[in-house]
Amino acid sequence: MENLVSAQGVVKKFGSNVVLDSITFEIKPGEFLFLTGPSGSGKTTLLRLLVRDLVLDAGELKVIGFDTGGLKENQMVNLRRQVGVVFQDFKLLNDRNIFENVALPLEIAGMKPEGIKKMVGEALDMVGLSTKPLAFPAQLSGGELQRVGLARAIISRPRLILADEPTGNLDPLTAKAIIKLLVDIHKNMQTTIVVATHNAEIVDTLQLRVLSLKEGKIIKDKKGKYE
């Protein structure tokens, strides 16, 4: 089975600061894994490299068949359409309702209105928000806002979902509900999911693959508990 992600000796620097130091790993299609490590260990930088929001300084990083080191503009657009991103701070547009926020990736892709309506309805149903398409972000709880973020991330049926501290701003009970939702999405869509997190309890409970970073290096890559 061909790897969905292949990183070989990836280096990323900001000035003289080496944030990722020659890291090598692979992710197979359909995996669910946690990316862990202390603040400043390189987790968010790695996620940004995967979606080509940053460019590596050395090594090779292939994502969904694209060599991210030398992407042309049209290739970058194609890659990003196949990657859904979930943010800790939601990144929703406050002047648009929930339907409009979730529909945005499809509108950008040029889909017709009838297709958008059907797919947004399915996505909102999947995250348990089918009754609130006309609500605005200010009317929702933190957990509901993250569900909107999840719906937007899955709306294009991506091959890869990247979640950057998706439970960081949520209370423990709501955090567990969001992770359960991600697990359900993984099961139903058979998509690959990478979750960057500090939440040791959730990692320990699920006992999935853990890729742990420290000072820019991978110090653990196996199934098990948070480290």
Query: For 32-81, how does the pLDDT look when each residue is reduced to its tens digit (9 = 90+)?
Result: 999 999 988 999 999 999 999 999 999 999 999 999 988 888 899 899 99
Q: Cβ neighbours of residue 225 under 8 Å, at least 6 residues apart?
A: 200, 203, 204, 207, 210
pLDDT of residue 33: 97
**For residue 1, what pLDDT is reported?**
63
Q: Is the pLDDT of residue 103 over 80?
A: yes
- Residues 137-165: what's their mean pLDDT? 95
Give this prediction's pTM.
0.93
User: In this predicted structure, what is the pLDDT of residue 182?
Assistant: 95
Mean pLDDT of 144-157: 95
pLDDT interval class at 144 (50, 70, 90): very high
- Residues in contact with 121: Cβ distance below 8 Å, sequence separation at least 6, in sequence order: 130, 133
Alpha carbon 33 to chain centroid, angstroms = 11
Closest CA to 84 of 112, 104, 65: 104
Mean residue pLDDT of the chain comes to: 94
Whole-number pLDDT of residue 221:
96
Q: What integer pLDDT is reported at residue 73 of this predicted model?
A: 86
Mean pLDDT for the stretch of residues 119-143: 96
pLDDT at residue 226, as a whole number: 85
Which residue type does 30 have? G
Above 70 in pLDDT, residue 15? yes
